[in-house]
Structure 1
Amino acid sequence: MRELIKRLALFEAFSLALLSINIWFLAYANGGTLRLAINTYDEMWLEYALWLILTPILVLGAHYILEDS
């Protein structure tokens, strides 16, 4: 289970990095501003639930990774 959490945390951290760099480049390409709406397709509560589940996995996985290194 520990290895699974470590892998999920690493995948999640990589995905968040890709998301952040894409948002940055979109803002850059749009003249430095970007409007991000989280309720266009009523996905706000689904994203909220995912954050509630994935944030502890990210933190615990990072702890496991640092503890084992």
Structure 2
Amino acid sequence: SFNSDFSNSSLIVAFEDLIDGDFDYNDLIVGISDVQAVPEPGTLALFGLGLVGLGMTRRRKSA
């Protein structure tokens, strides 16, 4: 049954396979567990490092 299969899931995502389908949303169901928050400063630091790296490679190619 649906409830016993996804009882330990933190997030349940379900999809309908047809645009004008029957809207039962049981064509593809994914249960995601052990969801952990990503600390925002770490995310911004990684994004910044990526931008710096892209800038450095662009600078090397244009010089």
Give TM class, smaller chain: 0.3 to 0.5
Using structure 1 for the length normalisation, give the TM-score: 0.36
More strand per residue:
2
Using structure 2 for the length normalisation, give the TM-score: 0.39
Tell which structure's C-alpha radius of gyration is larger. Answer: 2
More helix per residue:
1
Structure with greater contact order relative to length (CA < 8 Å, sep ≥ 6): 1
